[in-house]
Amino acid sequence: MLKGKNVLLCVTGSIAAYKIAELASRLVKLHCNVDVIMTKNATNFINPITFETLTGNKCIVDTFDRNFQFNVEHVSLAKKADCVMIAPASANIIGKIANGIADDMLTTTVMACKCKVMISPAMNTNMYDNPIVQDNIARLRRFGYEVIEPDSGYLACGDTGRGKMPSPESLLWYILKETAYEKDMKGIKLCVTAGPTREAIDPVRFISNNSTGKMGYAIARMAMLRGADVTLASGKVDVPPVPFVNIINVISAQDMYDAVTEEAKNSDIIIKAAAVADYTPLNVSDNKIKKKDGDMSIALKRTKDIIGTLGEHKKEGQFICGFSMETENVIANSKDKLIKKNMDMIVANNVKVAGAGFGTDTNVVTIITGEDNIELPMMSKEDVASKILDFIMAKRR
């Protein structure tokens, strides 16, 4: 995902410095080239050899170190970097950069950077809340630096409050968002649905399906990485939330209908990947239905047709993509839905095909429009999501 990308990690004197070793390792596993600069104070918390072992590159500490190739090192690192992350960022380094002080390798390099610079403060709560520190953070934001809000929690000093550096996984997402893909979807508002709905029978029982939400979440994730402004309407799933995405949690088909029809008013693209119930109980009991002798039947009624409503009220220039999960006559049934519900595209698959359907990390789909039937081989759901977005973007041009 990050092959050919160069990330510069800048580590300052904070107990959280040890966490950046994991971040460096994760980046390298994604085939990223990682350079590390440390302040001298940071070397009291973690040895530079750790980063050199993980990245395969010399860890720079001394501005006047003569043991590297002949060039102006702080300028060359700045030019090479696709993005810079200062983490953990101490109050001292924040103050220096905010006020134009460049007196060590880290600050001189940052001053020479034209790429995105992200700063993750990590310090005692009282230090973080100090008005001088807050003013310096505000200055950095005005100058175009991205300041990552610290987490709240138990700190190394024993206090509890703001000032905790986010996890390496969270920091990685900031880097991925900035560097992983070209921002060809920047400025586009995308609404995507994911997961199952639950239709209540009584307070303890419901009707649902086997959707895990993985396909919809993959679409939301890939669109976010490509710069789209994403809203994800999600049923109950056991999938990690997608960062930097507006998530609307829904339960029933009616909840999903309400959320999507409202979001559709301002959406450029709508991708309906959720498995929404077609039927819901006609009557919902206020109390648990007691077991009785013999069989029991539940009267059902149709839920509102979300994609049909969207197609009927489609705005000019809006692109609607649906999903069709079938067990027979996949292409014919999907084409009928495409035309009947006024969609621009439908993604069809057969749950009986190996590697497709619910619960898998892969999918096997056919992308169908009025003119095209494009069969894709089995691939990861992230790759399927990318193909779907590629096709939509090509059609919108």
Binding region for CTP: 278, 288, 323, 337, 341
Residue list for the binding site = 278, 288, 323, 337, 341
Nearest-CA neighbor of 211 among 339, 342, 338, 381?
381
Distance CA 221, CA 319 (A): 19
The string of DSSP letters for 196-251 reads: B--EESSSS-EE-----SHHHHHHHHHHHHTT-EEEEEE-S-SSPPPTTSEEEE--
Taking phi over 0 as left and psi of -120 to 50 as alpha, with beta for the rest, 335 belongs to: alpha
Strand 160-164, strand 206-207: pairing: unpaired
In the chain, count of helices (H) and strands (E)? 13, 21
The residues annotated as belonging to the active site are 157
3 state SS of 171: helix
Nearest-CA neighbor of 362 among 383, 341, 343, 346?
383
**Helix orientation angle between 20-29 and 48-55, rounded to the nearest 10 degrees:** 10
Nearest-CA neighbor of 85 among 3, 192, 157, 173?
173
Residue 82 DSSP one-character state:
S
- How far from 355 is each of 4, 331, 340, CA to CA, in Å? 31, 18, 29
CB atoms within 10 A of CB 41: 16
Q: Which helix (H) or strand (E) holds 256?
A: helix 253-263
Say if residue 161 is exposed, middle or buried (CB neighbours under 10 Å; 0-12, 13-18, 19+).
middle
Residue 118 contacts residue 23 (beta carbons within 8 Å): no
Residue 186 contacts residue 234 (beta carbons within 8 Å): no
